Structure 1
């Protein structure tokens, strides 16, 4: 008789994601605050938000965006960050842990947007390296999810370069601005896959 393979197990310890500052490889991720709205508003261009669910243009837009993120932090489902360049100290964008599941020890990295000068630089790679390292090595999560608009080739390529595995397309996943129906591409990285992905990211950071 063939017995089914034994399923993997993880400790049943609730996941806690407190505010933290992460720093390295030329970037600093610090807890997002309402006072960051003005500086972030200065970075906003429509092209930055071409495939996002929300377009941010004014300081009022940013204030609402940050307020929603901080509410998620209070509820324990999100932990938002300001991205800052270490060399200049200037804000470069935002990112966050989201969809945090305390019971399942999983989370998502999302709401990442960067000012145009940071595109095609080391910044996104460095941010993902810091966030993934903290998630797997300190928080001990078992799965990190990433998702993006199916049409966003640049974002999908960046996710795939990390080593995240494509899981499929969630069709008609959400209504975004102007009533556009969005299909969403889902990716994930598991704790067992992190060592290989970490080595890949470190090699990219050395080259970049």
Structure 2
């Protein structure tokens, strides 16, 4: 199945492996996501853009609208042990002509961090991007000051492409330097093996 041969964003399937299930985002995930974002008060980190509990409904509606417009593909990150959503992740910046996309807008409840859920979710998203959609590159972007995110992206096997200086003006008035990482198609077999072995450990 080629990247240009399918409506990439309109019919995304649920994706599952042992530690995690990714379900196409829906309004039905709202209450779980409110509980998840409250676990650690994730929205309070000044260098991230995570919806607060009060803003969750609007955030879901915005993502569903973007999905209908064909610009993103959002998923709820579900812990199969509890069948509850513990976070969110999205395909962004879809560029079908150049067969590339970004995995981003990812956040996970504090108690679910370090459990294997995040790398397992990334493995599922990367498999779909490279093996099903035929991507030649997948990007990851994060704030320069988000050291936890930068370390997690590098641990996936992504390489740093560079830093976009003064890239975005945030709601709090600060200016974000955006660190850009990527995995390209010829690196994917090694990244896939490394992630698979990491999840077995």
Provide the TM-score with structure 1 as the length reference: 0.88
Q: How much does 1:180 deviate? A: 1.4
Residue equivalent to 1:201: 195
List runs of 5+ in structure 1 lacking aligned partners. 1-10
Q: How many residues align?
A: 196
Q: How much does 1:131 deviate? A: 0.3
In the alignment, is residue 36 of structure 1 matched against residue 29 of structure 2?
yes
Residue equivalent to 2:7: 16
Is 1:14–1:102's contact at 8 Å kept on the other side of the alignment? no
User: What is the Cα-based RMSD across aligned positions, in Å?
Assistant: 1.8
- When residues 142 and 51 of structure 1 are mapped into structure 2, their CA distance, relative to the original with a 3 A threshold, is farther
Q: 2:49, 2:94 → 1: CA distance?
A: 21
Structure of larger gyration radius: 1
Q: How much does 1:63 deviate? A: 1.1
Q: 2:119, 2:86 → 1: CA distance?
A: 13
What are the within-5 Å matches in structure 2 for residues 12-161 of structure 1? 13=4, 16-17=7-8, 18-45=11-38, 47-49=41-43, 50=45, 53-58=48-53, 60-161=54-155
Query: Stretches of 4+ moved more than 4 A in 1?
Result: none
Provide the TM-score with structure 2 as the length reference: 0.91
Is 2:3–2:134's contact at 8 Å kept on the other side of the alignment? no
Q: 1:14, 1:150 → 2: CA distance?
A: 36
List runs of 5+ in structure 2 lacking aligned partners. none
